[in-house]
Amino acid sequence: MKKVELLIPVGNQETLEKAIHNGADAVYLGGKKFGARAYANNFDNQELINAIKLCHFYNVKVYVTVNTMIYNNEVKEILEYLNFLYENNVDAVIMQDFGLINLTRKLIPNLKIHVSTQAHNQNEEQLSYYYQIGCQRVVFDRELSLEQIKNFKTPIEKEIFVYGALCICYSGNCLFSALNGTRSANRGMCVGSCRLPYKLIINNQIKKEGYLLSTKDLNTIEKLPTIISSNIDSLKIEGRMKSKEYVALITKTYRRLIDDYYNQKETSLTLKEKEDLLKTYNREFTKGYLFNAEDIINEKTPNHQGILIGTIVDVTNNKIGIKLTSPIHQEDAIRITKINKGMYLNTIYNKKGLLIKEGQSNETIYISNKYNLKKQDIIGSPVLKTIDYLLNKELNQLTEKKLPLTISFVAELNKNSSLIVKNDQYTYKITGAKATKAINSPTTKERISTQLSKLGNTPFEAEKISINIPSDIFINIQELNELRRQAINELIKLKSQSPNKKNKYQIPSLTEETTNNSKISILVRNEEQLLIALNNHLDYIYTPNRELYLKYKNHHELYFRLNRVAPQLEDFNNENLLCTELGSIIKYHHKNNIRSDYYLNVANDYTLNSLKELNVNSSTLSVECTISHFQNIKNKKQSEIIIYGTPECMIIKNNIFNLSQEQAYLEDIKHNKYLLKYEDNETHIYNHQPINLINNLPELRGFGTYRIELLNETPEKIQSIINKIKDML
């Protein structure tokens, strides 16, 4: 029976060792570049080589994240990096960029590719395409339910997130950080805009304040049997920036439960395990979209919650009194919820003012008021334990994983003895001295077994020992020990050897393609905007409004913009379509006239070429591209760029603000207002200001199409924008 894989995040050497020795089947990690967690410590190239060797020694697979959007000037370097990973025996790479995936499949065909959740994997058409080009696995959108995932038919490996932090926006579709923090989530540099406070403003009134986009943490442990029985190949834990204690606890907890499932035992958490999970990290828990949960948001705080351990009952200038409901220990850390302030407990006092190491439930203990906190601000406040010293001490007492060893020892009188040690497919045989007849006490099988079992600090433990000797034989124990030592050392060398892989490739050259006959496109949202576009004879007109498209579709320049959340795709024939995700391109490119939108994160010519091979007539480049990125594009003729428009910062599953037709905004701490819309069972958040590159048109000559993307501009503003672009072209 093929068992489900336990896939653990690691951000440095310490967490790597915790994952290995606590039972990971595989780990995922990043190098210093091109991974979607740029602010984890990550591994340099030599550290990656060492990590792969260490993991493979313990039969743990290594997947390296190369899952960022790629610019033209990075292609050479990233291919060298991918080839380096292949030649050093990485088990797979995790990738987002559609063009780079295609290019890698052609140039490094034996490198296994897992398609990142950043690629927005959501429908059968995508899965089928990736399977056909040779990808091994897909990591699904976290917005899909387990039932949806289970029902996909494509025989590609399925990986899902089962524990850890959630993104509120569909992965690969978040521009909030890039547009407002100048750090791209699609480039691994998310600033965490969703973890900041906002005000919900509806019809000019503040309806709600708090951390309105901050999600709870995913925890599906209670549903583990259902998940494993749903034909899932890999269970992924989030957390490459989490602590080594987090990695240790989550790994060993899931390892036990998965093993219990396959051993037909009950898969339930102990009370201690439940509390330990809360202590290690939680923003409160949810079962997530995987189980159609509605309790996704924690509006109160984006921080780790720990567990409730008491209430503040006394405050003086020097001391704070806490009535405990759970034990607390010196060097624990707490948070006072009323003021959201945390501190380490370097000292704890009892009621008599004496120093103590710990306090128990129902006791009142005192801590130093080192921040001069005022009674009126904190009295009555719940107190959370956010770091548990004793738990961390327990988790850091690493018990090294031991590999099972089969040992065979054979000896006959006056013949050389032999010792065979075997682990997995690795076997080493060594010959010892000739055995002699015992003069007094013969050497027993039990004595030999005892000596061969003494594997000490080696990575092995004896699982099975077979000894074949006559009853009257003498074996020199010192020689036997030396034989065992040599055999183990040679077996370690065998297991540590790496296959010698070499791969040569040549990057395809790119052809410069520009045009002097540039077109203007426009996206319209209502009939008034559409009529202005028609009256100005613009070359391409896009609308997400289906009724509007059907009413005016006799105009050959009109295109229907499809929804980018599309787990199920309907049929279209002989239509003009602006495709917003890969599945619709795969499904519709044979029988429809299609163009692609900026949501596909296109930023290099190889992605443009891949789309061109799928009969995409024109591809809109990512709004994250700078002027220099645009200028570096070779195939400008097939490319479209947004020259003016307000892009979406986020698209979120469900109506999280219960909107209908009201005028609604989110306001951030800088008083920027982000328009909210609810359409097609998704909440859309638009940026607080438009992109405007109209004055940069002289630097951006030669592109096939320049787009205007309208939101709520007045007719006068629209006409002014059109006139200015026409004049400059």
Q: Tokens 């959630």 — which residue?
A: 166
CATH superfamily of 307-387: Translation factors (2.40.30.10)
Span 671-700, pLDDT tens digits:
999 999 999 899 999 999 999 999 999 999
**Phi, psi angle pair for 99, to nearest 5°:** -70, -40
Q: Report pTM.
A: 0.95
In the predicted structure, residue 166 carries a pLDDT above the cut 80: yes
Do domains 307-387 and 519-646+690-728 share one topology? The answer is no
In the predicted structure, residue 75 carries a pLDDT above the cut 70: yes
HSE toward the beta carbon, residue 529, CA cutoff 13 A: 24
Q: Which CATH architecture has domain 519-646+690-728?
A: Alpha-Beta Barrel (3.20)
Phi-psi region of 332 (alpha: psi -120 to 50; beta: other; left: phi over 0): beta
Q: Tokens 């630097």 — which residue?
A: 699
Span 387-409, mean pLDDT?
95
Percent of the chain with pLDDT over 70: 99
Task: Break the chain into its structural domains and give their ranges.
Answer: 5-166+216-283, 307-387, 403-495, 519-646+690-728
In the predicted structure, residue 180 carries a pLDDT above the cut 90: no
Q: To the nearest whole number, what is the mean pLDDT of the chain?
A: 95
> Which pLDDT band holds residue 187 (cuts at 50, 70, 90)?
confident
Q: What is the CATH number of domain 5-166+216-283?
A: 3.20.20.70
3-state helix, strand, coil in the chain (%, to 5): 30, 30, 40
> Which pLDDT band holds residue 532 (cuts at 50, 70, 90)?
very high
**Looking only at Cα atoms, what is the longest distance across the chain?**
113
Q: What element of type H or E holds 718?
A: helix 715-728
Pick from 677, 651, 686: which is nearest to 143 by CA?
651
Cα-based distances in Å from 332 to 147, 260, 393: 41, 32, 11
In the predicted structure, residue 207 carries a pLDDT above the cut 90: yes
CA gap 212, 195 in Å, rounded: 8
What burial class does residue 468 get, using C-beta atoms within 10 Å of its C-beta: 0-12 exposed, 13-18 middle, 19+ buried?
exposed
Per-residue pLDDT, 37: 59
> Which pLDDT band holds residue 38 (cuts at 50, 70, 90)?
low
CA gap 98, 67 in Å, rounded: 10
Q: Which residues contact 450 (CB under 8 A, 6 or more apart)?
A: none
- Please state, as a whole number, how many other Cβ atoms lie within 10 Å of the Cβ of residue 621: 25
Q: Which residues contact 254 (CB under 8 A, 6 or more apart)?
A: 6, 23, 163, 221, 224, 235, 237
Q: Return the beta strands (E) in 52-193 as ranges.
A: 61-66, 92-95, 113-115, 137-139, 157-164
Pick from 455, 479, 568: which is nearest to 123 by CA?
568
Pick from 362, 381, 368, 303: which is nearest to 330 by CA?
368
Per-residue pLDDT, 11: 93
Q: Which residues contact 531 (CB under 8 A, 6 or more apart)?
A: none
Per-residue pLDDT, 220: 97
> Which pLDDT band holds residue 642 (cuts at 50, 70, 90)?
very high
Which range (100-109, 170-179, 454-463, 521-530) has the least confidence? 170-179
DSSP state of 694: G
